[in-house]
Amino acid sequence: MSKITTARLLAMKQAGHKIAMITAYDATFAKLFEQAGVHAILVGDSLGMVLQGETNTLKVSVDDIAYHTRCVANGSEKMFIVADMPFMSYSTPEQACAGAATLMRAGAHMVKLEGGEWLAETVTQLTRQGIPVCGHLGLTPQSVHVFGGFKLQGRKAEQAEQIKRQAVALEAAGIQLLVLECVPSQLAAEVSRLLHIPVIGIGAGPDTDGQVLVMQDALGLTSGYVPKFTKNFLAESGNVKAAIEAYVAEVADGRFPGPEHSFS
């Protein structure tokens, strides 16, 4: 696998080749995931829940993400690394630039922000400073208390139109990647066709340009509630590398996600 860049991800979308992304938080898993053919790593604020044991992502700091981004970067030579901007770390463009600079210095190739049109000025400012940006729409976990829980977004026509409008506005502002989380499959397909940039789905059906999963979910390590959109690849493969190879292969040929992992 040659080094993955924003240009390579865009070329994959244009060629119809699916992008396989997964979360990672340390060098060991990063190296193994690269060997398994993963294209992109998300150093997610999900670490607040799966590593720190919190009930949501809100306590994660920029320093937390920077530490784990540095660990992942030390284990990866070729994968594209996206680092989450944590809760309240980008309330102004100036604050966003400072936090994003910390994450880029730690080894990120792109930062991810949750939110719609209100982020346009921030996205533009970041890209002017040479910082690539990934958007995140649909279920945005940092807004869990606004939504009243981790709930499907975009099922109502008005919500769906809002998500499409926000996606177009973010692309116009300069994002080069978009994550769509927990939205109906048809809406995700429409957004993927609407945008020129790659769209990565999680709980968004099979018709996005790629998929992302939390690594603990993909390996069946999640205790308690297991989201509908996940699959335990380790149960069928017997070892971690084979499990992630299966994930990459099933994303590539469209077997994952199936109807049982998607929302209508």
Which residue in 239, 247, 188 sits closest to 212, CA to CA? Answer: 247
The CA distances from residue 192 to 86, 139, 144, in Å, are: 25, 16, 24
| Residues with active-site annotation | 181
The vertex-212 CA angle with 209 and 218, nearest 5°, equals: 135
**84 labelled binding-site residue:** yes
**46 labelled binding-site residue:** yes
Q: What is the DSSP string of 79-98?
A: SEEEEEPPTTS-SSHHHHHH
**112 labelled binding-site residue:** yes
| CA dist., res. 143 & res. 206, Å (int) | 25
**64 labelled binding-site residue:** no
In a 13 Å sphere around the CA of 194, the CA atoms on its Cβ side amount to 18
Tokens matching residue 148? 């009243």
Q: 96 with 90: CB under 8 angstroms?
A: yes
**236 labelled binding-site residue:** no
User: Burial of 74 by CB count in 10 Å (0-12 exposed, 13-18 middle, 19+ buried)?
Assistant: middle
In a 13 Å sphere around the CA of 122, the CA atoms on its Cβ side amount to 25
Binding site membership for 3-methyl-2-oxobutanoate: which residues? 45-46, 84, 112
Can you say which residues are annotated as belonging to the binding site for Mg(2+)? 45, 84, 114
Known binding site: residues? 45-46, 84, 112, 114
